[in-house]
């Protein structure tokens, strides 16, 4: 089932990216914080609803201990996401998303090293089929190639378009996102692994991450109150794109957690390919133009995903 979970997460986060971009206001310096508030609000509500199903059963001490265990992943994710929200003010979605999600390839490498050292896998060849390895390599290569293509395209477009006030320096946003997301995804794979993980169930991870993001959202709301001397109201009509983005983000997060718990090394690069969904949606809804090289990368990643799906289907048939 990990493949289905990963596929749904990929689609969910692809649509979240679309609404993140639509909600990013170029003339609002606090646009990224407002987005973070909405995400924290949605995740917080879902976390509270999930509390009755928690393994801690409202044991505050155990909940705090688990929160500390999960903090490397949750804090890395929150930092990366807020950086990503800020970057959307300066770069097109079709540029920023592929660069950010090159983290999928890097996190897979980090997890392979860790799981090998921990005795989780003896050899890659024994753990995964040839189709698994080929599909993963194609997906990772396609995402990284798309990031390189976007980098070259953006160098010219940023210089030519005066709306990108930061120029080429704006690329620091997706690069920093990639770094923090790599840490978060690798930590998630290690923490959630059913054999060598830290004993955190999927529901508890959703609760801990959601409550942490809720706290971050509250801090962002207080910061805005202090800086603008006005209470930010997230429930106005103008914030509807942030609301949709937050809902799709949490939808994807739920399936992501279950996919990572079952097969982190294959799920990570596949889910990172949600940038392909973002690129396609940006072309359809935001009218961002794509070049032949971009389409080639998109096709390669889709082929890799199909290979993983076939491999998963063959494995289930064999069982």
pTM, rounded to two decimals: 0.85
Query: Helix, strand or coil for residue 131?
Result: helix
Q: What is the dihedral of CA 228, 231, 232, 235, to 10 degrees?
A: -160
Q: Lowest mean pLDDT: which of 46-50, 111-115, 143-147, 154-158?
A: 154-158
Q: How confident is the model at residue 103 (pLDDT cuts 50, 70, 90)?
A: confident
Residue 123 class from Cβ within 10 Å (0-12 exposed, 13-18 middle, 19+ buried)?
A: exposed
Across the range 209-225, mean pLDDT stands at 96
The predicted structure's pLDDT at residue 90: 72
- Percentage of the chain beyond pLDDT 70 is 85
Nearest to 159 by CA among 173, 146, 170: 170
Q: What mean pLDDT do residues 222-246 have?
A: 95
Distance, CA of 98 to CA of 157 (rounded, Å):
16
pLDDT at 15 over 50: yes
Q: What is the pLDDT of residue 162?
A: 44
Query: Quick check: helix, strand or coil at residue 89?
Result: coil
Residue pair 225/69 in contact (Cβ under 8 Å)? The answer is no
In which residue are the tokens 């407002």 written?
34
Rounded to 5 degrees, what are φ and ψ at 197?
-70, -175
Torsion of CA 250, 33, 80, 294, to 10 degrees: 80
Q: Which of 120, 95, 67 is nearest to 265 (CA)?
A: 120
CB of 251 closer than 8 Å to CB of 12: yes
Between 193 and 187, the higher pLDDT residue: 187
* Domain definitions of the chain by residue range: 2-318
Whether the predicted pLDDT of 267 surpasses 50:
yes
- What tokens does 2 get? 């990990």
Distance CA 197, CA 66 (A): 12
Give the Cα separation of 18 and 90 in Å (integer).
Answer: 15
Helices (H), the chain: 2-23, 31-50, 60-87, 93-100, 103-117, 124-127, 130-160, 172-192, 202-228, 240-262, 264-272, 274-285, 292-318
Dihedral angle computed from the Cα positions of residues 71, 76, 78 and 82, in that order, rounded to the nearest 10 degrees: 160
Cα 283 from chain centre = 20
Q: How confident is the model at residue 156 (pLDDT cuts 50, 70, 90)?
A: low
């Amino acid at each position: 089932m990990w493949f289905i979970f990963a596929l749904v997460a990929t689609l969910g986060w692809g649509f979240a990216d679309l609404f993140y971009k639509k909600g990013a206001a170029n003339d609002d310096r606090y646009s990224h914080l407002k987005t973070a508030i909405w995400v924290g609000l949605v995740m917080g509500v879902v976390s509270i609803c999930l509390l009755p199903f928690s393994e801690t059963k409202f044991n505050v001490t155990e909940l705090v201990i688990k929160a500390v265990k999960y903090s490397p992943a949750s804090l890395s994710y929150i930092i990366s996401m807020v950086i990503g929200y800020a970057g959307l003010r300066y770069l097109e979605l079709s540029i920023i998303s592929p660069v950010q999600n090159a983290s999928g390839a890097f996190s897979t490498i980090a997890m392979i090293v860790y799981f090998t050292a921990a005795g989780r896998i003896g050899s890659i060849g024994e753990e995964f089929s040839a189709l698994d390895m080929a599909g993963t390599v194609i997906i990772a290569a396609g995402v990284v190639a798309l990031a390189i293509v976007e980098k070259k395209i953006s160098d010219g477009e940023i210089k030519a378009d005066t709306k990108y006030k930061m120029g080429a320096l704006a690329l620091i946003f997706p690069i920093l996102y990639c770094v923090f997301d790599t840490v978060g995804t690798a930590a998630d794979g290690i923490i959630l692994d059913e054999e060598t993980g830290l004993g955190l169930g999927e529901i508890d991870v959703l609760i801990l991450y959601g409550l942490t993001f809720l706290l971050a959202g509250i801090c962002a709301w207080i910061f805005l109150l202090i800086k603008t001397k006005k209470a930010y109201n997230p429930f106005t009509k103008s914030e509807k794109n942030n609301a949709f983005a937050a809902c799709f983000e949490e939808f994807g997060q739920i399936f992501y957690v279950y996919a990572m718990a079952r097969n982190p090394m294959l799920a990570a690069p596949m889910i990172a390919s949600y940038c392909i969904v973002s690129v396609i949606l940006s072309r359809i809804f935001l009218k961002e133009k794509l070049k032949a090289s971009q389409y080639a990368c998109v096709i390669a990643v889709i082929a890799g995903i199909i290979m993983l799906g076939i491999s998963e289907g063959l494995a289930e048939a064999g069982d």
